């Protein structure tokens, strides 16, 4: 593999040779920032945990330099924050028993620059080595610019592969915007009723964010519980935690379909559902 930056890091928790570790990947998550993986991809992490036939690999595209900081981290420089966030991401990879964790280390501005092909080319290199069955990234309706940009780079990278090299599925997950607004038939549902202790541990390693003023741990676990409770209005809860994902696989099947068109289809079905319900009740 060739990457654009010499500072790219590949961390393998069980110390397998890198190529062997990456080749066992079945579920790949490509995220913008350190901790995004653990917020949005708990489903595939748990699915692969303690399995020999399924392996989860995480990829973080940006360097974490611009993260907000408070408390003991208040006076940390951008470089010091980068090192802290890399260390925290490694801790999560150990807790979740990932096949590998890759930090591509691009500045956020590079990820958001559609004219800069470096992140796309790096992701292509990883996809060719990992050959995952499923890829998870940010959903296209997320409200964080860097998240949306990374999702678009992932789509471009997969489209840059030969058809026989592409994953079977591509999902966009919840971080800076939940997906409870989607009509139920459009939601990909990830059940998170088990191993709440592990879910909490995966989120809890990010002390620089949590003690720094953002309770992502509480918010993420609460969203999963809220999704489970509010999913069905006329029945008792069948799960204690749910996460929703947007199926973005149609963008791989039809290269002429734009990401905007796909999102508009989901939004249109939501708007139609609201309109139809109002009309029925008048």
pLDDT tens-place values along the chain, 282 residues long = 889 999 999 999 999 999 999 999 999 999 999 999 999 999 999 999 999 999 999 999 999 888 877 888 888 999 999 999 999 999 999 999 999 999 999 999 999 999 999 999 999 999 999 999 999 999 999 999 999 999 999 999 999 999 999 999 999 999 999 999 999 999 999 999 999 999 999 999 999 999 878 999 999 999 999 999 999 887 888 899 999 999 999 999 998 999 999 999 999 999 999 999 999 999
Pairing status of strand 100-106 against strand 9-11: antiparallel
Phi and psi at 47, nearest 5°, equal -60, -30
Q: How many domains does the chain have?
A: 1
d(CA 54, CA 269): 34
Closest CA relative to residue 177, chosen from 210, 151, 159:
151
Helix (H, G, I), strand (E, B) or coil at 138: strand
Q: What is the pLDDT of residue 70?
A: 81
Domain assignment present for residue 1? The answer is: no
pTM comes to 0.96
Domain assignment present for residue 3? The answer is: no
Tell me 14's DSSP state.
Answer: T
d(CA 144, CA 211): 22
The number of helix segments (H) and strand segments (E) in the chain equals 12, 8
Q: Measured between alpha carbons, how far is residue 64 from residues 33, 102, 115, 155, 266 in Å?
A: 6, 13, 21, 22, 31
Domain assignment present for residue 64? The answer is: yes
Domain assignment present for residue 58? The answer is: yes
Domain assignment present for residue 2? The answer is: no
Pairing status of strand 242-247 against strand 187-191: antiparallel
Helix (H, G, I), strand (E, B) or coil at 178: coil
Domain assignment present for residue 88? The answer is: yes
The range of the structural domain enclosing residue 180 comes to 9-281
Question: How many Cβ atoms from other residues are within 10 Å of residue 164's Cβ?
Answer: 6
Q: What is the pLDDT of residue 172?
A: 98
Q: Where do the H-state alpha helices sit in the chain?
A: 18-23, 36-40, 42-48, 78-95, 108-112, 118-130, 145-159, 196-204, 207-210, 216-230, 250-253, 259-281
Q: What is the pLDDT of residue 64?
A: 85
Domain assignment present for residue 264? The answer is: yes
Domain assignment present for residue 4? The answer is: no
Please name the residues in contact with 147: beta carbons below 8 A apart, sequence gap of 6 or more.
Answer: 32, 36, 138, 175, 176
Q: What is the pLDDT of residue 68?
A: 77
Question: How many Cβ atoms from other residues are within 10 Å of residue 180's Cβ?
Answer: 15
d(CA 274, CA 189): 21
Q: What is the pLDDT of residue 213?
A: 81
CA dihedral 183, 45, 238, 277 (to 10 degrees): -10
Which CATH number do you get for residue 238? Answer: 3.40.50.10320
Contact 251, 198 (CB under 8 A): no
């Amino acid at each position: 593999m060739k990457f654009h930056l010499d500072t790219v890091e590949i961390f393998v928790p069980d110390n397998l040779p890198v190529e062997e570790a990456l080749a066992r990947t079945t579920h790949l998550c490509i995220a913008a920032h350190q901790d995004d993986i653990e917020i949005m991809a708990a489903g595939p992490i748990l699915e692969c945990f303690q399995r020999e036939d399924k392996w989860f690999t995480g990829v973080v595209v940006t360097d974490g330099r611009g993260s907000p900081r408070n408390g003991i981290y208040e006076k940390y420089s951008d470089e010091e924050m980068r090192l802290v966030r890399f260390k925290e991401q490694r801790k999560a990879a150990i807790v979740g028993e990932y096949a590998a964790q890759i930090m591509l280390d691009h500045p956020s501005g590079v990820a958001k620059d559609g004219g800069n092909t470096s992140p796309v080319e790096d992701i292509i290199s990883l996809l060719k080595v990992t050959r995952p069955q499923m890829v998870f990234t940010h959903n296209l309706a997320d409200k964080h610019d860097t998240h949306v940009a990374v999702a678009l780079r992932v789509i471009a990278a997969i489209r840059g592969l030969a058809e026989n090299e592409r994953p079977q599925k591509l999902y966009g997950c919840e971080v800076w915007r939940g997906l409870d607004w989607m009509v139920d038939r459009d939601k990909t549902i990830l059940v998170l009723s088990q191993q709440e202790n592990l879910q909490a541990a995966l989120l809890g390693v990010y002390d620089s964010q949590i003690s720094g003023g953002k309770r992502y741990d509480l918010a993420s676990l609460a969203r999963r519980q809220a999704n489970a409770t509010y999913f069905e209005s006329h029945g008792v809860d069948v799960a204690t935690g749910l996460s929703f994902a947007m199926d973005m696989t149609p963008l791989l099947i039809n290269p002429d379909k734009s990401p905007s068109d796909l999102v508009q289809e989901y939004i249109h079905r939501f708007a139609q559902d609201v309109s139809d319900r109002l009309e029925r009740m008048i």
